[in-house]
Structure 1
């Protein structure tokens, strides 16, 4: 394995990669070696630092009119000196241009890598979110259309007498949802919150904000002998339900 890494480091692929001069195939090979082998990654980081220091040291913008002043002085000298100075000026200009170009392409490469990483992460997040949404839609369809699904109608007690909801539980697919059909009028600063007691643990399922169509469902964790509660809570962080404010419950 070490011989393989040494052979790779003996090539100029890392330098070409830093300057953006590798082919697509070479780029894939370099990125794979950087990700897999710490020795390659260390060498790559050192080359990055050296290139950045070199570029920063020489990427100095020439003052305006410098070229014209140098050419004017060169013309005043004899032909031998004029030729020598012309070569020196040309070499200096080329060196400055090369350093500036190297630093520019180095920064461009870093920016492109960062943008590519951001876009890749965003795509992954979107794919995960879309997958989750599609899974939820599929489960809702199963619950609403499967003959094994049982329906439980919920009505609020005297503290929330206008509350109406329907729970859909499918013990075969182990899925359960609740649909809030009507919300009671509550005092300012109060809201209805859904809870589920599963395997002895109380889970916060969120605030019931909207009442709507049959397709407006809230997922509930399924468990045999689970108990669901709806409580009236005041604004603030509640880790457990307020028992005296339970307005509806259902046993699955």
Structure 2
């Protein structure tokens, strides 16, 4: 296990794991296996995009961006990275995570406790959902929405009404794992960016356990990394069985597999 995750599992990274372990000397915490990032290709990413949500649908990428006064929703051509369509969000809102439900896109906001629903094709605003607390990441597992709020809990919500169905605490080797950010639901698992780190984690949403971790450090060169913000954004193309990952203000997006 990478040094950072060893420290994390030992309680060394207070912003990721805190509190007493749930394991004992007689029942040691299981080692969490790692997955490596295999880059298939890289393509341009808009360096003004403060990436918050990312998803793949029907040959296109959909991205939600943040920051007050510059949040938007956009459709991207994955062959070139070109923005094909976009709609600005009111300057009063800080855009966050994004999920698709049928022909609608649901975009969270950070502190406004509102989720905006847009039409998939025209990006026309159709309705608004209200929720308590902050909004960070969102994904659709096929039967429910999974939402993060920066804590160590994932909340499950109804696909149609956005009503809370339940929640689960997330743990890594028995420690609460906080700062769960952008989410992607894939094959019964939830992949999450861990905010302010180069790590992603694969979560079993039924038990709340982290089953794998992914160290995505080093994707950008030192020159490319100047002036950028953190890793954020995960999308999955089920046809190619590849992931797309990027970061806030990054100059590149990457098509990858985790192996």
* More helix as a share of residues: 1
- Structure with more contact order per residue of length (Cα contacts < 8 Å, sep ≥ 6): 2
- Looking at CA atoms only, which structure, 1 or 2, has the larger radius of gyration? 1
Same fold (TM over 0.5): no
> What TM-score comes out, normalization by structure 2 length?
0.20
> What TM-score comes out, normalization by structure 1 length?
0.20
